[in-house]
Structures are given as C-alpha cells and as structure tokens.
A and B are shown apart, each in its own frame.
Chain A
C-alpha cells in the first residue's frame, strides 16, 4: 500500500502534549514495499466496550427515520462523525441480564455461547494472519473474581477468556520495541551480551566450585541469547523502522491511560502491526471511581440510578457516560487522522462500540446501545439510524459482520439469520402502530391507563416515568424499586402499555404510586430469566 502521509503527523501523547512523530521511514518503507502497484488496503476490526449499560432516556433516539434523525444527548460527543456511523436500535434479548452475561453477549452474541470463540477472534483468524500481532485484547482495570466473566469480552476457541493488557507502555514495547525485532534494541543487546560475558568470565577465574556452576548457568543463557540474535539477523529484516515512534509517557489517571491506548490502537492499525483489536473501557460492572471527573462514587453504584437515586448521582453517572462517548469520539478522530490515497484509515475499519445491556439499573437486555463506525472498505453503508421493527439478537449482528469479513459460517451463537440492513439492504423498520390512549378511574383510588410509557427526561426526577395519554396531562408514575423491577418498567419504556395501579388525582394530573398490573399492547412479555 502506498501511504500518502504528511511529513509531520502528530501523535497525541499520554500527557496530552502534542508530540511530533516522524513518519519518514515508515513512508519510505511502505512505498518501497508496494512499488507503486495497486494493492487493496487490508480490513481492520476494532471494538470499544462501554461498561454498565446506559441511562436510556439520555441514550435512546425515539424519533426520526433511517436517514433523518437527531442524535441523542449522550451521543453529542461523537455527533460530528454522524456520516460515518450506523446507529443500531432494538438490539437485544428479552430478559434481564447479569453483568457477566451481558459481557459475554457483547462479542459472543448470546450469553449461552460459552464454548466457542467470540466473533473478534473468528475475524482475527481471517484477517490477522501475516501481521505481527494476530489480535490485541486490551482493558483498563483488574479482574473481578466474584463474576470473572465481567472482565472479558474476547474468548478463544474453547470459550475461555483471553488475558488482557492494560498498560500502554507495555503494549507499545510489545508492538514496536521488541528487542528481537527492533534493530537498535538488537544491537544494544548484542553489545550488552559481550560486556556481561567478559565480566562473568573474569569472575569465573577466581570462583570456587559452586560459584563456577552458577556462572556456567549464567554464561549458557548468555550464549543462547546470542544465538537467538544471530538467527534473527539471518531472517529478512522488517521493512518498517519503528525506532522513531515515541513511547507514551506513564499515565497519571484513567483518562491519560485510555487516551494513550487509543493512540496505540490507531498506530497499531496504521502500521499494520495488528488488524483486530478489542478494548474494554472497564469491567462490565466496573467499580472504578472517576475522580478526575470530580465523581467520588463508584461507577457501578451510580449506574443503578433508580435504586440509588439522587440528582447528584445522575449527574455523576452522566459525566462518566459522556466520558465514554468522548473516548469513542477520540478513537474515530484518530482513525480519521491517518490518510492515504485510499482514504482515511477509518474507511478500512469496522469499529463496534457499545455495551451488553440497556437499562443500567434494571439490567434489561433490550435496546442495547450499539454503534458501528467505518464502512469497512465499502462493505457497510454508514450515516444511518437502523431501528428494527423487532428485537434483534446481537448474534445476528455478529453473523452479519462475520460474513462481511469473509468468515464462512451459517450461524453464530443462537442466530442463523444475519442482521439485514448494514450494507443498505432492506430491513423492516420500526413503525408506530395506532392505539387508543385513555385514563379510566375505577374507584377506590384505582386507575387504569393506556398510553406510551416513557422515562422522565428531566434529570431532577430521573426515576419518574410518564404515560402519555390523549388530550390530558401525562400520567406520572412514581413507584418503589420493587414495582419498577417487578413490572420491568425499563423494558416497556417507549412502548404502548395498559397499566393498572393505585394513585390520586393531583389537580388534573394523575399520580400512580403503586402498580398492580401491566400489559404490553403489541410487544412480547419480558422474560424473567437471565438473558
């Protein structure tokens, strides 16, 4: 491939400083490699996992159509990339989802798909061969042993979790400064070996028997390392010289760590060191504290925003969520910053961003946030909002992407039909159905209401629900966590329902404090099992 790079490309460092990145050698090497011929740029696959679901009213898009839609408040940080996105809606399953199950679902399509590789690994098998690193599995934080599945999205062919790396410097060194592949490092190692073996030999002259054995052990290792270096020298040298790349500085907080890692992801893809990378912004039930955002509570605690409701908590949760969105924006911005005559790096990528659950307090597995970025060399059609008529299992999306990447398979996880619409093909879009809206007073403080259920978009009352009815003030639903959970209000959000409950008339507005019955007009009943 012929890279058309400007002489001064900038790599934003961990500390946020702009540091010049001399790409001269890379450009020359790449140009020589191709010799001016036309080569198709390789495809890449990247995923960014967002922990702890979302606050649905801030995330969901409830109006608009495939081409004509407005992005939600939480999407603002990456709204500028609208033309490069496919925003998926109505992805998920029918039940609740544990954190571990939702994590498995993200790349394995279904929580029960536990004995097989996640889709990223299947894609890596297809596109990763011939690169120095078949795939990279990255994360930000440690293991959560209580539910270990919360810590992994990538699984190998047996369904076992693949260890992840969190340290940008370690990743950089593995990619670009491996002493066995880096000429300068190799040279340094060579002279080091000469020096230490001289020293050890002079020691050996005065050593006793036991010392002698130890020094023999030492010199054997030195000689074996020398041999390995000799063997590497005989192999054809890598055409790209990485020695001018600047190593990230050590990160002072999560923001710097993630920024540095995203820089590396983009660089790894650009230098074609790896074509398949998964990155978790946190464990699925992350207990991280975002003190650099001024938030003192744990993310998981805040994500249960109904049971732990306060305006302050909601603000904290949304700050964290917006930060996640900013990181997605940053990834896309980086991927767009690398260009050649074939276009931007992003154009040859498929980026999957999202979570494994929808409503973060109730753990509903419906309307799971999922966004695709990049058209994957033209195989996807971006700039659209795909709200499916019916709930679509995540496995269908994965099956569809696997096929696009050339993986030959007829099914994935629980799904045997591919998700339509990604490439512009027909899909059945969500359509409003007509229904009656009414309120009936049934006496004894009992009310029956039919209308569309929604969550309040006023953050001061984020645990309050409303039912929009015809020609009257919306009915206000203010219930305990028990009712919220038992009747799964989160699941029914955005859909028409009939609800019966106890309440009172507050000067024209009906207030319901206790739900006694809830029926969906058109939809399925939510499952009660982990899904």
Chain B
C-alpha cells in the first residue's frame, strides 16, 4: 500500500485553489453527504475523525501541505479528489499522520477511517469508461499522420552535420511544442486548444504538403494516390481517384458516397492548372476540417449510452497508441468490414503492429516521456555524446517490448546497448560491441548501439543502472525522487521553500555527506518525504555524477573495512545501505533491486500499468479506472507477464474499448 499511487502535486495544487472556505461549510457539507442512498459508504462515519485529527491543520484557517479537507463537500468532489483520500489513508496506515507531537488516534479510530476508505474508494468503485471527448492531434501525431497520408515528410531545408542539432520536420518546427497534459503525456492535448496561430500553421502546412505532392520530386507518391499520370498531365480521372483514396484516410474512416460526390463535383469539367488548383483546394478543406484535426469527432454511436467504440475509432485508438500514427490500410479495411474486434483478428493485428518498426514510437515517445529521458539532453552539450547516452535507455525499452520480455526486466536485465562513446562504462563486456572505425576526417560522430549481454560489467543491468539515467539526476535526492515517482509511481509534494543547504563538517567533525544530510533533514516535516526518497537515492551513491560505477574493479577502499556497504571514494564517505518504510533493509543497490523484483514488484507493475493506460487513453486516470488498473496489475503480477501481455491487456481493457456518449447538447 505504501507504494501504491498516492498524492500529488496536481491534486494538492488544485486543493490550494480553494483556500479560505470555512469550517462551517465543511460541517454542512458533510451533513449533506450524510443523506446518501443506502448501501454506499457513509461520509458521516469519518466526520468525527476528520474533525478531531485532521481539520486543525488541514482545513479552514490553516492549510498545511496544501491539503484542505473543508473543500471537499459533495460526493462528486470526493470522487474527483480520490488521490487526496488515498494519501490520507496511506498516512494513517503508516502512522505518518497525525504528527508525533499531536494526539494520536486509537487503533479502532484508524480502523474506522480505513474501512470507510476501503468501502468508498476500493470496494464500491465500478469500472466505467470515460465520457467521450474529441482530442486534437498532438504535433508529433500530426507529423506522423501527414507522413502516412502522403507518403513523405515535410522537411526543412537545413544541412545536417555531426555535432549539430537540427529540427528537420517542418511540422515540429512550426507547430507550438505540446505541453504535457494532466496525464503527464503530450498526446493528452485536452488542455491545449486550437488557436489562431495553430490554425495559420495548419493552413501553411497543408499548403506546403499539397505543393510538394505535385512537385516533380514526389511523382511516385502522387502516382500511388491518383494512379498513373499520362503525358497529357493530371486528368479528371486522376483527380477523382486522388479524392477517393485520400479523403477516407484523412478522416480515418469510410465516407458516404454522397459526401465524396460533394467533394468531386467542383472538379468536373476542369483541366490542367485549374484542375490541380481545385483538387488542392478540396484536399485542403479536408485537412483543415475538425474531422482531421481532432480525433474522434466523427465517431458513430448512440447518445446517452455506455457502448463499445465504433470500429474506426478502435483502429484509431490502437494505431495512435502503438504507432503514434493513423491506422494503415490493413486496419482501415478491417474496420470497414467490422472484423477488427474479432479476437483472432485483433490478436494478429497487435502482433503485426508491435513487430512493425513504427512501434518504436512506444520507446521513443511513451517511454521517453514516462521516464523523463529528455533530461539526458542536459547531461552533455555535445550531441553525439547526448545521443549515445539517450539511445541506451530508448533501445533498451524498445528491446523489452519488441522481444516481449517480462515486465520486471525493466529493473534487472542481462541485456544492454552500447556504442563507442558509452562502452567505457561496461568493462570487458565492451568487447562484444560491433567493431567501429571512425572514418577519416570525421571528428566525433553518433554511432548506432550494439546489443550486448552483460557478463562482466559491474553495477549494470536494468534501466536504473544505465549511465544516462543516472547522470540526468544529480545527487541522491533527485535520484531518489525520480525513482519514487517514475518507477514506484509515488507522488511527492513540492519541498518547502528555504530548506537551506547541507552543512559542511565543522572543525573536528568527519561526518559523511549522508550523515550530515540526515542531520539537515531530521525534522518531522522533512522526514515525511525523505524517509521515502533517501533510501533510493543513497542506494545509488556508488554511481558518480556521470553514471560511472565507482566501485568497479580498480577501485580501492582507502579505509579499512568499515560497516558493510560503507565505502570510500574520491569525494569522501558514502553509504549505500538503507531501509524502506516497509522495514525492508538492504546494503547496496543490488540488494535494493532484488527487493523491487520481489516484495515491491506489485507496486512497480502497478506503476507501469498506470503509465501505459494513461498514455493509451491520452488522459489522466480517474477513480473509475482504478478497477481496470488493479485487474491488469494482478493479472500481470500473477503470470509474471511480459510487455506485450501488458499492451494486450491495455488494448482489451474497458476504458480503451468502450465509451459513454453524452446524450444532449447543453
């Protein structure tokens, strides 16, 4: 339970928006809640507990840690703030709250609250899909979709050379960068609406790609869409065929013949330049219409009902999840003849899609965002080095999915990917790397990784020991926080302001950094988070800031044997041992990894499931997604499931397959 997802910046941030509501309001609110229908958890049960132990610091006049219980005054608000209650339950269960210097509730009192929580947020929650909402394509999806539609990329004329960075895609250059949505992923564009600037850019991009389509350079792509063009030039027949092939693909679904006729009519009787101009104009209208720009506006269904999404929507959900791209011809055909959802057909498509090079997007986009791998860009300012460090975890994630490895190989694996710039971290194992000879006249260049099997390298294995991943977070606190959030799925609130710095040793003292740090963060407010962060962070102290394993062979302890796990290196003492809040102890990171793979594996798997589901749905998970998360987690945990089992489970899950179309326009 400790590692299950608990509170978080977003929720806390939201809670603070409602600052000064009065205590009276809270009481009235809870009395109102008291009159809930039979069979549901009764909020009145926990009111005295909150009154007695929580409100003093978390409500009304005083709001500590941005947690305010007086804000939550309706059943809907209680649901929406489910993460708040989860944190509260966690804090009670692990006796983190109330603080030690406050009166403590009895075991029975805690029990009442925890039972209420279980009933209200775990047992009684029913899985349901989210209400249907169209979503604008993200910039990356727009780029990929445009490429798939026309068969070529819209590129910026810029010369690429080693050691430089260029944005080669015109789409990515011109469209504003997508901020991550509430889910933490950029494909969650709900908070990023269309604007006149984006409109102009869309218009420019549509003009450009159509101009390019009719340029000499792209004859073969035009031919593929419009049929062979004779010596007489682009004909009416070409135009009609172009519209017939392109339009259903633009809208990602079959169109009614009448709708297609409407588009073709203005082309009749035209020829030459006039015809080309008219055809471009028709395609541009399609590219600028909501059916292209937004995903899902054209979905068919019955208002007011929970139902399976239509087949085209299913094809779209699947292809944007796995490829970040529109459905290809096969998927479109299967959707058109309504066989995509048939189990064997669907299973075969999953395999085909995951085998396709396009599924690298899961590593390139999903894993990079989940694991914040773009932070590696700041490790070096020399692009070949940055690329070497960054492609290691990306290739590793792609390997896990492509070769269908067990989920927990994320934490420990015998496989790694190295190139000449990262080989130094891998001892003798570097000999497995493909021979590389730099070409004459090239100073530094980006080189592809070789896949190697870890045999001798010390301190390597799994994502957490990849040099770039270690180097992107400097120091034990950032490393520990990152691990807690990105791997364990925990969420931490922001540290308080003015925490000061860790004191240096004063005269006569010879305390290690860890000892001094522990003095620094010894008060109860700090301990709340640092008890969780520090064991993880300090466990990784045997890796230096560049991600090198300090204790690798050749290392000599300057100190006689101290405590186990306590070693000395150039910078001073360090201590990799620790104890998790669950009481489990370890001496070093290798032992911590074993704990993650055994007693903590459920938490690790749950986090993977949550991230994957949120990415697949392009939205933040809600309380009604929890049963889905728990089902998939349990299933993968019991079966020691693989990455493809995960993809399969997510793409069969209720929120992925179904939706609720809201009935009436407001």
Interface residues of chain A, those whose CB is within 8 Å of chain B, are: 140-146, 148, 151, 166-170, 173, 179, 188-189, 191-192, 195-196, 199-200, 203, 207-215, 217-218, 221-222, 224-225, 228, 247, 249-251, 254, 257, 282-283, 286-289, 296-298, 300-302, 308, 313, 316
Residue of B nearest to A290 (CB): B159
B370-386 interface with A by 8 A CB criterion: 381-383
Flag if A296 contacts B165 (CB, 8 Å).
Answer: no
Task: Decide yes or no whether B194 CB sits under 8 A from chain A.
Answer: yes
Q: Which of B54-62, B130-138, B180-188 sits within the interface?
A: B130-138
Question: Shortest Cβ distance from B632 into chain A, in angstroms?
Answer: 26
Residue of A nearest to B136 (CB): A214
Residue of A nearest to B303 (CB): A208
Question: Shortest Cβ distance from B255 into chain A, in angstroms?
Answer: 12
Flag if B441 contacts A211 (CB, 8 Å).
Answer: no
Given contacts A208-B663, A210-B132, A297-B441, contact A224 B196 (CB under 8 A): yes
Specify which chain B residues have a CB less than 8 angstroms from the CB of A221 in the assembled complex.
Answer: 194-196, 198-199
Residue of A nearest to B301 (CB): A208
Task: Decide yes or no whether B637 CB sits under 8 A from chain A.
Answer: no
B168-223 interface with A by 8 A CB criterion: 170, 193-196, 198-200, 203-204, 208, 211-212, 215-217
Given contacts A140-B159, A166-B158, A209-B665, contact A214 B297 (CB under 8 A): yes
Flag if B288 contacts A192 (CB, 8 Å).
Answer: yes
Flag if B165 contacts A145 (CB, 8 Å).
Answer: yes
Flag if B666 contacts A209 (CB, 8 Å).
Answer: yes
Flag if A217 contacts B196 (CB, 8 Å).
Answer: no
Given contacts A142-B164, A301-B441, contact A188 B665 (CB under 8 A): no
Flag if A141 contacts B133 (CB, 8 Å).
Answer: no
Question: Shortest Cβ distance from A113 into chain B, in angstroms?
Answer: 23
Task: Decide yes or no whether B289 CB sits under 8 A from chain A.
Answer: yes
Flag if A214 contacts B294 (CB, 8 Å).
Answer: yes
Specify which chain A residues have a CB less than 8 angstroms from the CB of B297 in the assembled complex.
Answer: 203, 207, 211, 214-215
Flag if B161 contacts A209 (CB, 8 Å).
Answer: no
- Residue in contact with A189 in the complex, picked from B194, B203, B443, CB distance below 8 Å: B203
Task: Decide yes or no whether B591 CB sits under 8 A from chain A.
Answer: no
Flag if B441 contacts A298 (CB, 8 Å).
Answer: yes
8 additional A-B pairs beyond A140-B159, A207-B665, beta carbons within 8 Å, are A141-B161, A141-B166, A145-B164, A203-B290, A210-B132, A210-B662, A214-B297, A301-B441
Flag if A196 contacts B289 (CB, 8 Å).
Answer: yes
Q: Which 8 A-B pairs have the closest CB atoms?
A: A297-B441, A142-B166, A142-B164, A287-B161, A166-B158, A210-B133, A167-B157, A141-B159
Given contacts A203-B290, A297-B442, contact A141 B158 (CB under 8 A): yes
Flag if B440 contacts A297 (CB, 8 Å).
Answer: yes
Task: Decide yes or no whether B512 CB sits under 8 A from chain A.
Answer: no
- Residue in contact with B165 in the complex, picked from A143, A195, A199, CB distance below 8 Å: A143
Q: What class of interface size applies to chain B in its complex with A? A: 35 or more
Flag if A146 contacts B381 (CB, 8 Å).
Answer: yes
16 example contacts (A-B, Cβ-Cβ < 8 A) are as follows A141-B159, A141-B166, A192-B284, A196-B290, A207-B297, A214-B294, A250-B217, A254-B159, A283-B164, A287-B162, A287-B163, A288-B161, A297-B441, A298-B441, A300-B443, A313-B441
Question: Shortest Cβ distance from B130 into chain A, in angstroms?
Answer: 10
Flag if B203 contacts A145 (CB, 8 Å).
Answer: no
Specify which chain B residues have a CB less than 8 angstroms from the CB of A249 in the assembled complex.
Answer: 215-217
Flag if A188 contacts B158 (CB, 8 Å).
Answer: no
Q: Measured between alpha carbons, how far is A308 from B383 in the docked complex, in Å?
A: 23
Residue of B nearest to A14 (CB): B157
Flag if A212 contacts B666 (CB, 8 Å).
Answer: yes
Flag if B303 contacts A141 (CB, 8 Å).
Answer: no
Flag if A192 contacts B285 (CB, 8 Å).
Answer: yes
Flag if B285 contacts A195 (CB, 8 Å).
Answer: yes
Specify which chain A residues have a CB less than 8 angstroms from the CB of B638 in the assembled complex.
Answer: none
Q: Is the interface of B mostly helix, strand, loop or mixed?
A: loop
Residue of B nearest to A301 (CB): B441
Flag if A217 contacts B285 (CB, 8 Å).
Answer: no
Interface centre among B193, B215, B665 (most CB of A within 10 A): B665
Q: Measured between alpha carbons, how far is A196 from B282 in the docked complex, in Å?
A: 11
Task: Decide yes or no whether B160 CB sits under 8 A from chain A.
Answer: yes
Q: Measured between alpha carbons, how far is A166 from B133 in the docked complex, in Å?
A: 39
Flag if A217 contacts B194 (CB, 8 Å).
Answer: yes
Question: Shortest Cβ distance from B136 into chain A, in angstroms?
Answer: 8
Interface centre among B193, B199, B441 (most CB of A within 10 A): B441
Question: Shortest Cβ distance from A34 into chain B, in angstroms?
Answer: 33
Specify which chain B residues have a CB less than 8 angstroms from the CB of A208 in the assembled complex.
Answer: 132, 303, 661-665
Flag if A142 contacts B293 (CB, 8 Å).
Answer: no
- Residue in contact with B662 in the complex, picked from A209, A297, A301, A308, CB distance below 8 Å: A209
Question: Shortest Cβ distance from A315 into chain B, in angstroms?
Answer: 13
Flag if A168 contacts B157 (CB, 8 Å).
Answer: yes
Given contacts A209-B664, A224-B196, contact A287 B215 (CB under 8 A): no
Question: Shortest Cβ distance from B418 into chain A, in angstroms?
Answer: 22
Flag if B133 contacts A287 (CB, 8 Å).
Answer: no
Given contacts A169-B157, A218-B293, A302-B441, contact A144 B163 (CB under 8 A): yes
Question: Shortest Cβ distance from A206 into chain B, in angstroms?
Answer: 9
Specify which chain A residues have a CB less than 8 angstroms from the CB of B157 in the assembled complex.
Answer: 166-170, 250-251, 257
Flag if A200 contacts B133 (CB, 8 Å).
Answer: no
Task: Decide yes or no whether B281 CB sits under 8 A from chain A.
Answer: yes
Question: Shortest Cβ distance from A243 into chain B, in angstroms?
Answer: 13
Specify which chain A residues have a CB less than 8 angstroms from the CB of B196 in the assembled complex.
Answer: 221, 224-225, 228
Question: Shortest Cβ distance from A222 into chain B, in angstroms?
Answer: 8
Specify which chain B residues have a CB less than 8 angstroms from the CB of A148 in the assembled complex.
Answer: 381
Question: Shortest Cβ distance from A360 into chain B, in angstroms?
Answer: 14
Specify which chain A residues have a CB less than 8 angstroms from the CB of B523 in the assembled complex.
Answer: none
- Residue in contact with B134 in the complex, picked from A140, A167, A168, A210, CB distance below 8 Å: A210
Interface centre among A146, A296, A301 (most CB of B within 10 A): A146
Question: Shortest Cβ distance from B190 into chain A, in angstroms?
Answer: 10
Q: Measured between alpha carbons, how far is A305 from B208 in the docked complex, in Å?
A: 43
Task: Decide yes or no whether B224 CB sits under 8 A from chain A.
Answer: no
Q: Measured between alpha carbons, how far is A47 from B358 in the docked complex, in Å?
A: 44
Interface centre among A192, A210, A215 (most CB of B within 10 A): A210
Flag if B164 contacts A287 (CB, 8 Å).
Answer: yes
Specify which chain B residues have a CB less than 8 angstroms from the CB of A168 in the assembled complex.
Answer: 157
Specify which chain A residues have a CB less than 8 angstroms from the CB of B284 in the assembled complex.
Answer: 192
Q: Measured between alpha carbons, how far is A211 from B298 in the docked complex, in Å?
A: 9
Flag if A141 contacts B289 (CB, 8 Å).
Answer: no
Task: Decide yes or no whether B106 CB sits under 8 A from chain A.
Answer: no
Question: Shortest Cβ distance from B169 into chain A, in angstroms?
Answer: 12
Flag if B194 contacts A141 (CB, 8 Å).
Answer: no
Task: Decide yes or no whether B156 CB sits under 8 A from chain A.
Answer: yes
Residue of A nearest to B168 (CB): A142
B131-148 interface with A by 8 A CB criterion: 131-134
Question: Shortest Cβ distance from B353 into chain A, in angstroms?
Answer: 27
Task: Decide yes or no whether B439 CB sits under 8 A from chain A.
Answer: yes
Specify which chain A residues have a CB less than 8 angstroms from the CB of B194 in the assembled complex.
Answer: 217-218, 221
Specify which chain B residues have a CB less than 8 angstroms from the CB of A214 in the assembled complex.
Answer: 133-134, 290, 294, 297
Q: Measured between alpha carbons, how far is A172 from B215 in the docked complex, in Å?
A: 17
Residue of B nearest to A195 (CB): B285
Q: Measured between alpha carbons, how far is A222 from B199 in the docked complex, in Å?
A: 8
Flag if B193 contacts A289 (CB, 8 Å).
Answer: no
Specify which chain A residues have a CB less than 8 angstroms from the CB of B158 in the assembled complex.
Answer: 140-142, 166-167
Q: Measured between alpha carbons, how far is A179 from B199 in the docked complex, in Å?
A: 12
Q: Measured between alpha carbons, how far is A200 from B294 in the docked complex, in Å?
A: 12
- Residue in contact with B290 in the complex, picked from A142, A200, A301, CB distance below 8 Å: A200
Flag if B289 contacts A200 (CB, 8 Å).
Answer: yes
Interface centre among B131, B158, B159, B167 (most CB of A within 10 A): B159
Flag if A142 contacts B195 (CB, 8 Å).
Answer: no
